[in-house]
């Protein structure tokens, strides 16, 4: 007991010391910025005459010239006022003393900038006259900065996380000659196929709460954000279930005033509205160096970084193109140590490694010059499970081989096909009792769901579980995970959620810092999960019903993984038809769910087939194995 007390006292003192050291560093950085930079605020004119509010931090030392680091954001460049300073500058605190001109801009129609805001404004090819898009606004901003801010060296970099990541990507087509380095980080890339709002046609309900604030109209430039809507609940599951329908939510809380929500509800399929809002087809003739960054446990924008890197690679074989993927939640590389997430530990400060060894050298080389290129691989990925950084020439790794995991009778998962014929597993999907996505009671989406223990779901009768025997050697999955299901339903539509899970040994002991109510023995760690709305199984543009009680093929893509299933562990797949309230409920009927009535939501009996001819499966890429 005395030893335990000593350890606890040491832990408290250590945490207190870390907290004090961090706050002290922030205070020192804030003081350094105020003493060594002059802040300017300017309205930069665009080609159509609108002016964008821009904060500029210029080093006081005039003995040399500096590159420009630009961040364009819809989330405000606050604090406003030339006498009010940010407490940190650049992608990380490492940049503050490196010698940069730091620039922050409110994008068109947001906060203090003029003009009308358009969500993920479409790109205009071959713009004429005063036509504008985010590419032209970035070009005009860079052109003004180079010509009007003294002591710049003529080189500009741009970076941003999430929505600012989209604006970083938007700078790449038709880029300004001075733009030398771009880092889209967790970039919003395709809001329908896999980022934020929809995944394979299934609507993510967290967007309702996001746009309740972000989507409110801003008639005039302002430094004040809109009032937040009080939903009067701390339990999202009950809140959304009791609301009944998406239309009822809109009528009660938005009253038709949120333009983005109105747009979503009028575009249920992947039509021109959504197609025009992805920059992937326009990432051609890429001139600046690009380093795209993402997190394997990003609950919002995991699709974006993987697809942005791939589009540049495929369309520009000679481009200077890099990808970094770490064990992070959304923006975790900039906002956390990256040592752990939830109860999963990685054993090192992965974020610090990225910031020191990858991000800072990347910008310094391309913006400040130097004869020696930084030792940064084209692809740097953190392989979870084995917990190590891996360097590759491309992604997926060229040495990765294809293999298949087959759903077998009696809940088995095998690398070999089954001999049985006509076998299936069955469950009832009830929209009134949907499967929760997390065991926690929360209102906002919990980021830790991306690695959460799935035992709470495995025990439900409407969740099917398939698992391998105990692994006799390590196996690493590196690349896309592709479910290939054979299903039937008594309804005319259904959602299919597929989860790839790492099952820990039953004998595994807790770490000393693991909470007492958590048991790591038998822990079912979610490695990857995603969903498809089955009416979009053949086309996201042209939905079609399922024929009731007919075996139907459903294929889709889970986002990529880089994960080692260790010897002694098991590989598990869970299949279900709801994931609530992460994803809105499917009424199990072929209809426009945005305008569904409460009476439209019906139970359905769903079968997953496991026989030899119609054997559901998961296609993966693997390395380091002797299957």
pLDDT bin (cut points 50, 70, 90) of residue 15 is very low
CB atoms within 10 A of CB 326: 25
Provide mean pLDDT across the span 514-537. 95
Write down the pLDDT at residue 392: 97
Average pLDDT of the segment spanning 437-454: 94
Distance CA 447, CA 419 (A): 41
Does the pLDDT of residue 408 top 90, yes or no? yes
pLDDT beyond 90 at 422 = no
Q: Of all helices (H) and strands (E), which one includes residue 43?
A: strand 37-45
pLDDT digits (tens, 9 = 90+) for 174-217: 999 999 999 999 999 999 999 999 999 999 999 999 999 999 99
What's the pLDDT at 143?
A: 98
Q: What is the pLDDT of residues 449-497, one digit of tens each?
A: 999 999 999 999 999 999 999 999 999 999 999 999 999 999 999 999 9
Least confident of 20-29, 256-265, 534-543: 20-29
Residues 6+ positions from 141 with CB-CB distance below 8 Å: 44, 46, 52, 54, 70, 72, 103, 105
Dihedral angle of Cα 471, 472, 473, 478, to the nearest 10 degrees: -30
Least confident of 149-163, 223-237, 363-377: 363-377
Closest by CA position to 450, among listed 305, 329, 563, 582: 329
User: Which pLDDT score is estimated for 16?
Assistant: 54
Please state the rounded mean pLDDT for residues 236-255: 95
Task: State which H helix or E strand residue 391 sits in.
Answer: strand 388-392
Dist. CA 225–CA 280, nearest whole Å: 31
Q: For residue range 141-171, what is the model confidence (pLDDT) as tens digits?
A: 999 999 999 999 999 999 999 999 999 999 9
Mean pLDDT of 226-239: 94
What is the Cα Rg of the chain in Å?
25
CB 7 within 8 A of CB 512: yes
Given pLDDT bands bounded at 50, 70 and 90, which one contains residue 513? confident
Q: Is 406 helix (H, G, I), strand (E, B) or coil?
A: strand
Which pLDDT band holds residue 553 (cuts at 50, 70, 90)?
very high
Mean pLDDT on 602-610: 97
The Cα–Cα gap between 565 and 503 comes to: 9
pLDDT mean over 379-399: 97
φ/ψ of 218, rounded to 5, equals: -130, 90
Return d(Cα 108, Cα 114) in angstroms, integer.
Answer: 6
Task: Kindly report, residue by residue over 92-125, the tens digit of the pLDDT.
Answer: 999 999 999 999 999 999 999 999 999 999 999 9
* Measured distance CA(538)–CA(555) in Å, rounded: 8
Q: What's the pLDDT score for residue 19?
A: 53
DSSP label at residue 234: S
- pLDDT at 162 (0 to 100): 98
Measured CA angle at 567 (ends 565, 572), to 5 deg:
45
* pLDDT tens digits for range 288-338: 999 999 999 999 999 999 999 999 999 999 999 999 999 999 999 999 999
Q: Is 560 exposed, middle or buried (0-12, 13-18, 19+ CB in 10 A)?
A: buried
Percentage of the chain with pLDDT > 90? 90
Contact 330, 188 (CB under 8 A): no
Task: Please provide the average confidence, as pLDDT, over all residues in the chain.
Answer: 94
How far apart are the C-alpha atoms of 53 and 104, rounded to whole Å?
9
For residue 164, the Cα-to-chain-centroid distance in whole angstroms is: 13
Residue 104's SS3 state is strand
Average pLDDT estimate for 549-558 = 97
> What torsion, rounded to 10 degrees, do the Cα atoms 410, 413, 418, 421 define?
40
| Distance in angstroms (rounded) separating the CA atoms of residues 478 and 608 | 26
pLDDT in tens, 614-625: 999 999 999 965
Cα(362)–Cα(181) distance, rounded to whole angstroms? 8
Residues in contact with 80: Cβ distance below 8 Å, sequence separation at least 6, in sequence order: 41, 55, 112, 223
pLDDT at 380 over 60: yes
**% pLDDT > 70, the chain:** 96
**Model's pTM, two decimal places?**
0.94
Contact 491, 548 (CB under 8 A): yes
- 2-13: pLDDT as tens digits: 444 544 444 444
Q: Is the pLDDT at 391 greater than 90, yes or no? A: yes
d(CA 611, CA 91): 52
Contact 380, 391 (CB under 8 A): yes
Query: pLDDT grade, residue 22 (50/70/90)?
Result: low
Give the start-end residues of each E strand in 243-385: 289-295, 321-326, 340-341, 344-345, 379-383
**Domains of the chain with CATH codes:** 2-122+131-190+277-392 (3.40.50.1820), 401-623 (2.60.120.260)
**9 CB contacts (<8 Å, ≥6 apart)?**
none
CB 490, CB 537: distance < 8 Å: no
**Strand positions, DSSP E, 195-327:** 198-199, 202-203, 289-295, 321-326
Residues in the chain: 627
Q: Do 352 and 337 form a contact (C-beta atoms < 8 A)?
A: yes
How do beta strands 340-341 and 344-345 pair?
antiparallel
């Amino acid at each position: 007991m005395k030893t335990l007390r000593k350890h606890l006292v040491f832990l408290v003192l250590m945490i207190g010391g870390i907290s004090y050291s961090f706050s002290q560093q922030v205070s020192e950085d804030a003081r350094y910025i105020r003493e060594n930079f002059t802040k300017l605020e300017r309205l930069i004119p665009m080609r159509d005459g609108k002016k964008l509010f821009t904060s500029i931090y210029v080093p006081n030392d005039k003995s040399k010239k500096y590159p420009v680091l630009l961040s364009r954001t819809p989330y405000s460049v606050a604090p406003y006022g030339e006498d009010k300073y940010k407490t940190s500058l650049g992608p990380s605190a490492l940049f503050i003393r490196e010698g940069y001109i730091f620039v922050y801009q409110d994008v068109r129609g947001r906060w203090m900038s003029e003009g009308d805001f358009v969500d993920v404004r479409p790109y205009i090819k071959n713009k004429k006259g005063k036509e504008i898009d985010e590419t032209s606004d970035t070009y005009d901003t860079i052109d003004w900065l180079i010509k009007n801010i003294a002591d710049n060296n003529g080189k500009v970099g741009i970076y941003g996380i999430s929505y600012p990541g989209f604006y970083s990507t938007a700078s790449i087509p038709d880029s300004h000659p001075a733009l030398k380095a771009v880092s889209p980080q967790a970039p919003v890339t395709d809001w329908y196929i896999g980022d934020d709002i929809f995944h394979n046609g299934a609507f993510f309900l967290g967007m309702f709460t996001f746009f309740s604030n972000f989507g409110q109209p801003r008639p005039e430039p302002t430094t004040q954000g809109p009032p937040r809507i009080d939903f009067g609940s701390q339990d999202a599951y009950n809140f959304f279930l009791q609301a009944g329908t998406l239309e009822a939510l809109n009528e009660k809380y938005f009253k038709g005033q949120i333009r983005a929500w109105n747009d979503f509800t009028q575009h249920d399929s992947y039509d021109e509205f959504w197609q025009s809002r992805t920059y992937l087809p326009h990432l051609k003739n890429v001139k600046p160096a690009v380093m795209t960054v993402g997190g394997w446990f990003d609950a919002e924008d995991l699709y974006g970084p993987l697809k942005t890197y791939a589009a540049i690679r495929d369309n520009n074989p000679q481009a200077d193109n890099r990808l970094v993927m770490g064990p992070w939640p959304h923006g975790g590389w900039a906002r956390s140590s990256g040592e752990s997430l939830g109860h999963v530990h990685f054993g090192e400060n992965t974020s610090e490694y990225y910031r020191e060894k990858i991000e800072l050298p990347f910008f310094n080389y391309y913006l400040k010059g130097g004869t020696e290129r930084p030792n940064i691989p084209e692809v740097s990925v953190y392989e979870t499970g084995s917990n190590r950084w891996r360097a590759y020439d491309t992604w997926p790794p060229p040495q990765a081989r294809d293999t298949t995991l087959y759903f077998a009778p009696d809940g088995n998962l095998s690398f070999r096909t089954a001999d049985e014929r006509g076998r299936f597993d069955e469950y009832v999907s009830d929209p009134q009792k949907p499967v929760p996505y997390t065991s926690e009671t929360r209102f906002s989406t919990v980021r830790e769901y991306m690695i959460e223990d799935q035992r709470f779901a495995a025990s439900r009768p409407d969740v099917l579980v398939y698992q391998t025997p105990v692994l006799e050697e390590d196996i690493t999955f590196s690349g896309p995970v592709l479910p290939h299901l054979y299903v039937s339903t008594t309804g005319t539509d259904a959602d299919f959620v597929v989860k790839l899970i790492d099952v820990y040994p039953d004998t595994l002991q807790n770490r000393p810092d693991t909470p007492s109510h958590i048991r790591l023995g038998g822990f079912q760690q979610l490695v990857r999960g995603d969903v498809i709305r089955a009416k979009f199984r053949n086309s996201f543009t042209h939905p079609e019903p399922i024929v009731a009680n007919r075996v139907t093929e459903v294929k889709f893509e889970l986002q990529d993984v880089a994960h080692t299933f260790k010897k002694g562990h098991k590989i598990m797949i869970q299949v279900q038809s709801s994931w609530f309230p992460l994803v809105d409920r499917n009424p199990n009927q072929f209809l426009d769910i945005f305008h569904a009535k409460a009476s439209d939501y019906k139970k359905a009996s769903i079968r997953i087939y496991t026989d030899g001819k119609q054997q559901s499966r998961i296609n993966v890429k693997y390395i380091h194995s002797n299957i």
